[in-house]
Amino acid sequence: MNIELEHTGNLTATVKIDITPADYEEKVLKVLKDYQRRAQMPGFRPGKVPFSLAKKMYGPAVTADEVNKLLSESLMKFIEDQKLDILGNPLANAEKTSQVDFNEPKEMSFYFDLGLSPQFEVSLDGNSGVVYHKIEVSDELAEKYLEDMRRRYGNPADVDLSEKDDLLRGDFAELDDHGNVKEEGITSSGSVNPEIFADESIRSLFYGKKVGDVVKFNPLQASGNVADVAAMLGIDKERAENLNAEFNFTITNISRMVLAELNAEFFDTVYPGVEIADKDALIAQIKTDAAGSFVGESDKKFFNEAVKHLIETANIELPDEFMKRWLIDANRDKVSAEEIEHEYDNYARSMRWQLIENKLIREYDLKVDEEEIRDVFRGYFQRPGSLQLDDEMKSRIEGIVDNFMKNNEEVRRIHDQIFDTKIMLLLKEKMAPKEEPVSYDEFVKLVQQQ
């Protein structure tokens, strides 16, 4: 056997593998003899099939199989021995490789194309210009969160005159084209929450009303959502889809959610175990919690901008034509060549980031060990600030964790989460982004501009 490497471009090469019958005949003979011992054919006792007949029947297929095994093993060993850092997988070069006839042992030559990984540098420093947007929680936003909390823990009460956010119950009656109640039309009892309507002019029809008042409106026009209309009128979706009629809605009840009072009982309900004496302390706690919940969004935006910066500054060249061939081969029967061509820029960006990420993992020795994964699973049962577990409970939890560790898919998911966190922390530490405070509304606009 002879193997040669020829560079065909800056980042491409072709491997030529020459093999002779001496490289594979012994293995082929061994397999055929095994076939002969196990073959069952009419007219022959088990194990007594002539070798010549077994060879005639199975020889070409066995030869092809053994040659392919030999090629795969030899190619992978050559790549490893030569320390070739390749992209994707080797691809057979059908143009250079002659048609092979496995019926007759002879010398054969096979060609495989390689995509070679580019050399590049990654600079993690504080001069990137990437900004970390820290979302500040305004008093207005905190007050809104507080109102939502009070509404969530409030109690409904009947009122005389409707206002915004009230829930109105009543009777629906379908109208004809002249505005009269339609004979055999849809009639039902139900409720209306005007705040789900997109049109302000339709919402306002339900404000300032009292029990007994009648509101005329088109449910489908008001909602624009067939499922909501079906639920509102108590009809099936198919009927609601073709319903474009006005209805009388006669109000029978007006209900308003009375906000929970700001007292010790409410403070203890929303923040059990936290000492909160008054509204100011509650607002401060809401701000702290909200700011903490926004960290993930800030991290995500920073990560996206850091990745973009690193890809642009690393200026990584790729063997594009080889990569397209490899993507088509790897996604055979899933994605067409036209789709690969159309989406190639996205594929290339992902590959460039993967190369950068792998380089960072090697340079900074990032790894995830089993104990870190087990700690995540343990966290499902032991929350910060919860009661201390006794030995028996700890043992039971470890047994459950052992079972979780047998779920390879879940273990891989947790592994990747931890790795992503470590990459994020590394980028934040080494790139030292400038922290820029923004309001939540400003942050949303920045994200929309990405």
3-state secondary structure the chain: CEEEEEECCCCEEEEEEEECHHHHHHHHHHHHHHHHHHCCCCCCCCCCCCHHHHHHHHHHHHHHHHHHHHHHHHHHHHHHHCCCCEEEEEEECCCCCCCCCCCCCCCEEEEEEEEECCCCCCCCCCCCCCEEEEEECCHHHHHHHHHHHHHHCCEEEECCCCCCCCEEEEEEEEECCCCCECCCCCEEEEEECHHHCCCHHHHHHHCCCCCCCEEEECHHHHHCCHHHHHHHHCCCHHHHHCCCCCEEEEEEEEEEEECCCCCHHHHHHHCCCCCCCCHHHHHHHHHHHHHHHHHHHHHHHHHHHHHHHHHHHHCCCCCHHHHHHHHHHHCCCCCCHHHHHHHHHHHHHHHHHHHHHHHHHHHCCCCCCHHHHHHHHHHCCCCCCCCCCCHHHHHHHHHHHHHHCCCHHHHHHHHHHHHHHHHHHHHHHHHCCEEEEEEHHHHHHHHHHC
**395 & 296 share domain:** yes
User: What value, to the nearest 5°, has the Cα angle with vertex 447 and ends 442 and 450?
Assistant: 130
Rounded mean pLDDT, 216-227: 91
Q: How confident is the model at residue 198, as a pLDDT?
A: 84
Tally of domains within the chain: 3
Which has more confidence, 274 or 51?
Answer: 274
**175 & 249 share domain:** yes
Residue 236 falls inside a structural domain: yes
Residue 134 falls inside a structural domain: no
| Contact call for residues 434 and 132 (beta carbons, < 8 A) | yes
pLDDT range class, residue 37, cuts 50, 70, 90: confident
**252 & 289 share domain:** no
**205 & 347 share domain:** no
Report the 10 Å Cβ neighbour count for 79: 17
Q: What is the spatial distance between Cα 421 and Cα 427, in angstroms, rounded to a whole number? A: 10
Q: What is the spatial distance between Cα 105 and Cα 165, in angstroms, rounded to a whole number? A: 85
**110 & 178 share domain:** no
Domain end residue (candidates: 207, 227, 258): 258
Q: What is the spatial distance between Cα 313 and Cα 328, in angstroms, rounded to a whole number? A: 28
- pLDDT per residue over 145-201, tens digit each? 999 999 999 999 999 999 998 999 999 999 999 999 999 899 999 999 999 998 889
**292 & 394 share domain:** yes
Q: How confident is the model at residue 387, as a pLDDT?
A: 55
Domain end residue (candidates: 258, 286, 319): 258
**231 & 300 share domain:** no
**182 & 84 share domain:** no
Length in residues, the chain = 450
Expressed in angstroms, the distance from the first to the final Cα of the chain is: 55
- Does residue 45 register a pLDDT over 90? no
Residue 31 falls inside a structural domain: yes
CATH number at residue 239: 3.10.50.30
- Does residue 341 register a pLDDT over 90? yes
| Contact call for residues 3 and 108 (beta carbons, < 8 A) | no
Dihedral sign, Cα of residue 241, residue 246, residue 252, residue 257:
positive
Residue 126 falls inside a structural domain: no
The range of the structural domain enclosing residue 53 comes to 2-116
- pLDDT per residue over 81-99, tens digit each? 999 999 999 999 999 998 8
**289 & 229 share domain:** no
- pLDDT per residue over 289-325, tens digit each? 999 889 999 999 999 999 999 999 999 999 999 999 9
Which has more confidence, 108 or 104?
Answer: 108
**304 & 335 share domain:** yes
- Does residue 103 register a pLDDT over 90? no
**313 & 402 share domain:** yes
- Does residue 386 register a pLDDT over 60? no
| Contact call for residues 378 and 401 (beta carbons, < 8 A) | yes
**292 & 427 share domain:** yes
